[in-house]
Amino acid sequence: MRCDPRLAPWAIILPPLTGLSELIKPTTMQFTFKQKIFALLVASLFLRFVFFAVESGDSVSQELSPKTSYYGEDRLNTNPPPPAPVMTVKPIVIEEAVKLFHEQFNQTQFDAIYADAGKGVRDFQTRDAFVRKLSDQRNELGAVISSKRTYINQNIGYGKSTVIVADFQTVFANGESKREGFFWRIVKGKPQLDYYTVS
């Protein structure tokens, strides 16, 4: 049975279906209700396939297209990243500041530590709360026996001020080894304690 040329698109869309010539009557071009439903179903499936193919192509092309980074450069740029900032404060300066902190801690001079601390400590805690925290820590852990720097890094904080982050592994009198974390803000070349924690 020859297919009407007007039905050629349907013949392309539905080549694997058997009995197509029985469903479509090219001579009268009249369809039963079931045939219309079937044709709508096939057409919707075909359109979904077409839309899926178009969307997939768009996503692949977007993935392959160059993207702009935060620096306004092509993502495929092969230039090396900018170097890390050079430490403007020598680590020995921070180690000396930590050494003074430990001396004052051992002598329970918590008021002096608070007086020398920077704005970060003062904004975070009152003097009484800060002194109480260090006093409880001193009673629980004992005096500092030894301490060794395990990490140091320089960051640029708010107002483009230099902040030194340093970790120390510290042994206390009760035998426990704890990690101390210090944030030092450099003010006029002098480190001021900005944050302190023990874990």
Q: What is the pLDDT of residue 134?
A: 95
Bridge-based pairing of strands 177-187 and 144-156 is unpaired
Q: In the beta sheet, which residues pair with residue 168?
A: 149, 180
Q: What is the pLDDT of residue 133?
A: 94
d(CA 194, CA 182): 8
d(CA 33, CA 43): 15
Exposed/middle/buried for residue 105 (C-beta within 10 Å: 0-12, 13-18, 19+): buried
pTM for the model stands at 0.56
Q: What is the pLDDT of residue 193?
A: 94
pLDDT in tens, the chain (199 residues): 455 555 555 455 555 554 545 555 454 456 677 777 877 777 777 777 666 665 665 554 555 455 544 444 445 556 666 555 556 778 899 999 999 999 999 999 999 999 999 988 988 889 999 999 999 999 999 999 999 999 998 876 655 678 899 999 999 999 889 999 999 998 888 899 999 999 8
d(CA 154, CA 24): 78
- Strand runs (DSSP E) across 15-136, as ranges? none
The token pair that represents 195 in the structure block: 């944050």
CB neighbours of residue 89 within 10 Å: 18
Q: What is the pLDDT of residue 49?
A: 67
Q: What is the pLDDT of residue 61?
A: 53
Q: What is the pLDDT of residue 71?
A: 45
Residues 1/23, Cβ–Cβ less than 8 Å: no
Residue recorded with tokens 């210090």: 182
The token pair that represents 60 in the structure block: 């692949």
Q: What are phi and psi of 110, to 5 degrees?
A: -70, -30
Q: What is the pLDDT of residue 196?
A: 93
Q: What is the pLDDT of residue 69?
A: 46
Q: What is the pLDDT of residue 41?
A: 79
